[in-house]
Amino acid sequence: MASAVYSSLRFVKMSVLKGDFVYRAPPIVVNSARGSRIYSDTREYVDLQASSGASILGYDNSILSSIDLTGTMLSKPQTCESETRLRVADILRTKFQAALGKEGRIGFELGGAQGIELALKVAIAARPKFHLVTIEGAYHGRSLFTSHLSSSRRYVLGMDPQFRHQRLPNPVLMAEGGTVDKVASLEQCIQHVKQIFRDERFGFMDPHGSVPIFVFETVQNVAGMLDIPASYLQAIEECVREAGGVTIADEIFTGMYRLGGFCAHVSKGLKPDIVVMSKGLTNGLVPLSIIWVGDDSGLSETFRPGTHSCTYINNELALLTLEAVLRRLASIPEIENLAVGARLHSSIAQHVPEVAALDAFATGNVLRLNFPTSETAKRFSELITEHAEIGVLHATTGLAKSSVIFHPAYVIGEEDIAASALVCAEAMKKLERFRSLQAA
């Protein structure tokens, strides 16, 4: 990167707390954006990360300008309801009903981690004697509480939570270990789950009444876009139901059409009691998360007034922005079949057919490429970011160091896809080990 990009950072570095992702490396200081392009003082980038998955409609200020705030009371006392919140909740309820085929109610919070915590509050109010269950490789937020649900110890800081938390095996990770193939790992994991749920000797089930609260992602984003098999999730869901437990679908990243449908879990035949969404709700413009609680679960009845409170969940600007985003999404033809991930993959392959040798996940509006080593992935990441003409921004994760992930805005144009594919192809050609992939 040109040193001029960082020349103005002296004051920022002194003033900004550096505990977040921005400071994993010298940051790219950007000052403007349009569509899927981001601009710094000296560089131009195609953004295939979509503001960490939030800017699903690209960088579009017209979303805010379309909102009429004339005479609007932007902030309200927590004890007062607003017509906007009631209207937006009804719109969301209708969308969930269409996607899931059943009625439910909507709760509001600020960010993804807070949405997970709100969902857990709803579940625990009905099942006060509980133990939490997740899948190895999980990531459900970075708050002081939700960080303990994630698999990696790197996210855990501070308190030692006083609750039982058990992680179920991950068949994808097991197959990555190389001792068994994907078919065998899936079968072993299904049988293991059924056994531990039904055999007290494993210490999983509590004969004194504690029930499981299962939190899951259909595709584990932070773990490297791991696609958890539908049959495995269905087996766990069945066992949780038999035990009188609660299932919570974490759709923070995968929801809002990221993997095709409005809710990703629908394509896997799952029927969770609670669904959590956040990224994409407001196109990254203002913080907001929601939870949907199915009426058939009965959980709404035990979540009584006063159980939860948040100063900003009745924020008129956030609610109106969500409503505007939903209108925009409704205007996109074939929103569930955009297949941006596959289009990008195909465009790269036109320049470098050897890309087919890489393990890839191209579903909905996501493309993940797995490289042979973490060093190769790191070098590829550097090459596409620092490309001489135009950089390509993308996602990488400390938990899957061999993966490079693209999840651009849904409205990305073919010109930006083509430009990004060309940059990726040029980078692949420069990787000495890439040309030997097919022979390896």
CB atoms within 10 A of CB 293: 24
Identify the band that residue 28 occupies on the pLDDT scale cut at 50, 70 and 90.
Answer: confident
Residue 194's pLDDT is 96
DSSP 352: -
Contact 33, 39 (CB under 8 A): yes
Q: Decide if 377 contacts 401 (C-beta within 8 A).
A: yes
**pLDDT at residue number 178:** 85
**Tell me, what amino acid is at 234?**
Q
Can you give the pTM of this predicted structure? 0.94
Contact 425, 352 (CB under 8 A): yes
Tens-digit pLDDT profile for residues 247-287: 999 999 999 999 999 999 999 999 999 999 999 999 999 99
Q: How far apart are CA 95 and CA 97, in angstroms?
A: 5
Amino acid at 295: D
* Inter-CA distances, 37 with 44, 49, 70, 390, Å: 7, 11, 31, 10
Q: Would you say how long the chain is, in residues? A: 440
CATH class of 83-330: alpha beta
Per-domain residue ranges of the chain: 3-61+338-436, 83-330
pLDDT score for 144 = 86
Average pLDDT of the residues of the chain: 91
In eight-state DSSP terms, residue 401 is E
| 436: Cα separation from own chain's centroid | 33
Q: Answer with the residue of higher pLDDT: 221 or 150.
A: 221
Instruction: Give yes or no on whether 3-61+338-436 and 83-330 have one common fold.
Output: no
More confident residue, 15 or 230: 230
| % of the chain with per-residue pLDDT over 90 | 74
CA distance 83 to 3: 51
Cα separation of 304 and 328, whole Å? 34
What would the two tokens of residue 219 be? 């595709």
Q: What is the pLDDT of residue 440?
A: 55
Could you tell me the pLDDT band of residue 6, with boundaries at 50, 70 and 90?
very low
Mean pLDDT lowest for which of 152-161, 265-274, 388-397? 152-161
CATH of domain 3-61+338-436: 3.90.1150.10
